[in-house]
Amino acid sequence: MNGWQRTIEELHALESRLRSEGWETVATQAGDASFVPIGVGDDDWFGLSLTVPGDDADRIERVVGRATLDEYDVFRRATDGRTYLVIRYADADARVAVLVAATYDRQGAAPRKVARSAADRGTLHTRLRRLDGTPVAEFTHEDHEPFFPGTGGD
């Protein structure tokens, strides 16, 4: 089984566990995960941009409209130049979670630039977006380390 298959299995296992505990969940697989360094794009935004499928984007927008999703966990595995993530955005009081599986190639310069910016600024941003680039939801993380191998948690 390859890293992506294992990640998808972990996504579905987490979704199943949360649902069995009474949580409402939206689980999706990012079709693209890309790091956007400072200075790229129209504003000063930097972070991890995740493209989500249309139907899932609609469901995520509905959840974000009624839940704070102010907690997050990152489950990470790094192998052979790739990083695999399952990100859980949650509102424990509302018992609602959005789960996103993603993978990225950590060999390029962009992940390193974003990691440096996150360390310098003390935050990392993630943005869920539609295929056409329209933002669906945006989150700020005070701890950037779980998103990057070699910073603990491997």
> Are 127 and 141 spatial neighbours (Cβ–Cβ below 8 Å)?
no
Residue type (1 letter), 47 = G
Q: Answer yes or no: is pLDDT of 134 > 70.
A: yes
Beta-sheet pairing, 47-51 with 32-36: antiparallel
Of 108 and 17, which is predicted with more confidence? Answer: 17
Burial of 128 (0-12, 13-18, 19+ CB in 10 A): buried
> Are 64 and 137 spatial neighbours (Cβ–Cβ below 8 Å)?
yes
Global confidence as pTM? 0.93
Q: What is the pLDDT of residues 45-98, one digit of tens each?
A: 899 999 999 999 999 999 999 999 999 999 999 988 899 999 999 999 999 999
- Residue 51: C-alpha distances to residues 16, 26, 40, 137, 142 (Å): 23, 15, 17, 11, 22
- Residue 38: C-alpha distances to residues 19, 32, 62, 125 (Å): 37, 19, 29, 11
- 3-class SS of residue 11: helix
Adjacency order of strands within the sheet including 135-141: 32-36, 47-51, 124-129, 135-141
> Are 92 and 71 spatial neighbours (Cβ–Cβ below 8 Å)?
yes
